[in-house]
């Protein structure tokens, strides 16, 4: 039986931390679906389609990884794809509390799917999409925080977003 995992997130924008978790998940599962999920609590800078495109560029050398988007309930998507696992990256203890609550809720809704937590590489412990957005908007260098193949796209969008506010 093929081991399929779904790696959900907003990826607004994708960071080196995301790339690391996706790459490591691709070593553990036969197929990994990176899922751009909608979160009504977050106001994203990039459209779902733009985030999918960036993730496709970032994962292009990982043959068992595909990228998709969905705005429904995660467990419904996991069930539809016959996945057996949900992969989530953890940076700090504060991430764990929220993700643990989500994992227990998902387990209640779909008992056969497991949530697998991968801890971040120590180089990425402090890294978040919101931090990347803030640094870029203030003119800082984000080249050490995001995959090189999407750096220009991210900088260009955040520069434009910043100009609209002015």
Q: Of the listed 42, 148, 156, 159, which one is catalytic?
A: 42
The reply, when asked if residue 18 is annotated as ligand binding, is yes
Q: Reply yes or no on whether 108 is catalytic.
A: no
Q: Of the listed 69, 79, 81, 91, which one is catalytic?
A: 91
**CA–CA gap between residue 25 and residue 119 (Å, rounded):** 11
Q: Reply yes or no on whether 18 is catalytic.
A: yes
DSSP strand pairing (114-119 vs 65-70) = unpaired
The reply, when asked if residue 51 is annotated as ligand binding, is no
The reply, when asked if residue 127 is annotated as ligand binding, is yes
The reply, when asked if residue 1 is annotated as ligand binding, is no
Within 10 A of 33 (CB to CB), how many other CB atoms are there?
22
The reply, when asked if residue 126 is annotated as ligand binding, is yes
SS (H, E, C) 107-126: HHHCCCCEEEEEECCHHHCC
Q: Reply yes or no on whether 42 is catalytic.
A: yes
The reply, when asked if residue 102 is annotated as ligand binding, is no
The reply, when asked if residue 145 is annotated as ligand binding, is no
The reply, when asked if residue 89 is annotated as ligand binding, is yes
**C-alpha separations of 114 from 11, 38, 66, 96, 148 in Å:** 22, 21, 20, 15, 32
**Bind-site residues for ATP:** 10-11, 18, 89-91, 99, 124-130
Residues involved in catalysis: 18, 42, 91, 129
**Bind-site residues for substrate:** 10, 42, 74, 88
**Bind-site residues:** 10-11, 18, 42, 74, 88-91, 99, 124-130
């Amino acid at each position: 039986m093929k081991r399929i995992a779904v790696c959900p997130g907003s990826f607004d924008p994708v960071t080196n931390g995301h790339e690391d978790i996706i790459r490591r998940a691709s070593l553990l599962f036969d197929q990994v679906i990176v899922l751009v999920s909608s979160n009504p609590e977050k106001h994203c800078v990039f459209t779902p389609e733009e985030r999918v495109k960036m993730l496709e560029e970032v994962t292009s050398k990982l043959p068992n990884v595909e990228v998709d988007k969905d705005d429904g309930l995660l467990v419904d998507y996991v069930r539809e794809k016959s996945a057996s696992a949900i992969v989530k990256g953890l940076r700090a203890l504060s991430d764990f509390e929220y993700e643990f609550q989500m994992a227990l809720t998902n387990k209640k809704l779909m008992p056969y799917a497991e949530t697998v937590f991968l801890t971040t590489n120590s180089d990425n412990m402090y890294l978040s999409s919101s931090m990347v957005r803030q640094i870029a908007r203030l003119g800082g260098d984000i080249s050490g925080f995001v995959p090189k193949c999407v750096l220009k796209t991210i900088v260009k969008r955040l520069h434009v977003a910043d100009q609209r506010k002015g």
